[in-house]
Structures are given as C-alpha cells and as structure tokens.
Amino acid sequence: MAVINFGGVDENVVTREEFPVSKAQEVLKDETVAVIGYGVQGPGQALNQRDNGINVIVGQRKNSKSWDKAVADGFVEGKDLFEIEEAVEKGTIICYLLSDAAQITLWPTVKKYLTAGKALYFSHGFGITYKERTGIIPPDDIDVILIAPKGSGTSLRRLFVAGKGLNSSYAVFQDATGRAEERAKAMGIAVGSGYLFQTDFKKEVFSDLTGERGTLMGAIQGIFQAQYEVLRSRGHSPSEAFNETVEEATQSLYPLVAENGMDWMYANCSTTAQRGALDWKDKFHDAVKPVFEELYDSVESGEQAQISIDTNSKPDYRESLEVELKALYDSEMWTAGRAVRSLRPENKES
C-alpha cells in the first residue's frame, strides 16, 4: 500500500501502479465473477471487468429492460448472461448489485448458492450494516467484501473508457478464506477504480447515506432551488436565474474545483467574487452544519435506513416515486435547464 497524506492525516491507499490490472487478472484467474443486477452499477462494473479480461457473467431477470440492455452490451444468453439463480450458482464471486430493496427480497434465493469459499461482493454497505433490519446475514464460510465506487456506474464506465478511473473505497467484513482482502483489491482494480481507500461497511454506508442526502444530491437541489426562487422573485428571467444558479456552477466552476481545488478557485476569480465568497462562506456553513449533524444522527440511528426499507417495500412505491420525480421534471427551474442545455453548441445541429 502507498501512504498518502490527506490534510495532515496519513492514509493507506491502493494504487494501480502497485496493484496493476495484470495482478488483478492473476488473483482472479480462477474466479467466475457473477454480476447480479444490471441497473445502476451493474453495467459499468461488468463491462469494465470484461474489458480487463476478467471472467464475468451477468445474472438478470429475463424479459426485462435490464436483460435487454445486457444483450445490447454484448452479453450472450447461455454464455455469459443467465437468469439470476443460475448466475449465482455458477459464480465464485457474487457481485450483489441489486437495489437495497431488491437485495432484501432476493436474499433467501441467493443465500442457497453461497457455498463455502465463495465471496459475496457489495458496492454499498446497507444490507450488511443494517442486517437486523434487512435479514442479509451471510454464511460464516464465505468472504464478504465491498468495493464502493465514488460515483455512478455511468461515470465509472465513462472514465474507464477515457483511460481514467473513479476512486473507490474497499472493505472486508468477513474473511473465511484468508484471501478476502486480496480478492477485494483485485476486484477494485478490475472494475476500473482510480485508487482504493480502506473503510468498513458501517462507515461506507454512513458516509454514503449522508452524502446522497447532502452535497451529492439533496442539499445541492435544495440550494439550487432556493437561489433560483430568490432570483426569480426579484425579477430575473428563468434563463438568467438558471444560468447563474446551475449552468455556471456545473459547466464552468465545478470542473475547475475538481481539477484544482476550491483554494485555487478562490485565488483565481475576480476580487469582487473572491471578497464576497470569503465573506459569505461562514454564514452558509453555520446555517447548514446543524442540518448535517441532524442528518448524520438520523443515518447513525438507522432511521434513514428504516425509512428507505419501509418506503421501497410499499406496493405502490414506483407509482409514488414517478409522481415526485415528475414534479421535479416539471418545475420551472429544470424546464429552464432543458432549454439552456439544448442551446449549448454541442447539442445544436450544425
């Protein structure tokens, strides 16, 4: 492992220089990796492994959109595409990439095929961390590992194709074979990670649930909406309000922050922007931090997990979700956003 200093704290990380794809191929040469589920993470992880020379198969319900997508991506029924039960039976490393709700439902079926020496692989610590609520309690004679890419499966695939990598955390919950950590690292490299940093299942799910509800999605949408509404109420047009709230952030500034850091951004903006940002950052920090404390407490207590389990298990969940998502889609801000995006040069017909 390489030791890297993060903000004054030394951490051990696994890089592709010390654990190249060739080493991952060697570790996994006798494995059959079964990717169960072809929805959010499944396609990116399966395709990246296939391109990296790993023996990967896909398990998915037949006659579903996800099955058809796997076929379109070049997986062949009976060769490397199977119904879920058959794929779990054939696999030696089972990548359990279904939604949290689907993992709970399918667990009794999957557990039957988790024979001694196999590895159960997660990309989210939810099922194991809240096992008393989910019922996902693995047999004692298998490895239980985690690779959690810090982004969507779509991003994982795009960066891989571009010759880059999406950073991932890794963890070992149970080491029955003595090879669990080696298997985890090999899988992390095989799915296209930029580098791997160590965590545990509980920390992964606590940080992930906080992030999704916070700066990754929930808080960002709330902040965007608040600023947009203030600008609109003060007489600004939808185009101006959206460009100033979202377009400039996502198309201009956020990519620069990703490349160089916020400290660089502060040092390389106009003095007016610099002064204003420095003056107001602490006010936003002080206003928002109590909300994050409340959010983390709710995650740590299991309240957020129970809300997810209860909501996602309702028979009308999909219908209710569509109503909420349609309200977001139909909102003036994101209607303006579609118009703005259509006017970008790359989206206009020449």
Q: How far apart are CA 203 and CA 299, in angstroms?
A: 11
Options 50, 118, 124, 213, the catalytic residue: 124
Length of the chain, please?
Answer: 350
Q: How far apart are CA 146 and CA 152, in angstroms?
A: 16
Q: How far apart are CA 149 and CA 330, in angstroms?
A: 31
Q: How far apart are CA 149 and CA 159, in angstroms?
A: 12
Question: Angle 271-300/201-213 helices, nearest 10 degrees?
Answer: 130
Say if residues 166 and 193 touch (Cβ distance below 8 Å): yes
Q: Are strands 143-149 and 119-122 parallel, antiparallel or unpaired?
A: parallel
Would residue 124 show up in a list of annotated catalytic residues for this protein?
yes
Say if residues 32 and 55 touch (Cβ distance below 8 Å): yes
Q: How far apart are CA 279 and CA 294, in angstroms?
A: 25
Tell me which residues are annotated as active site: 124
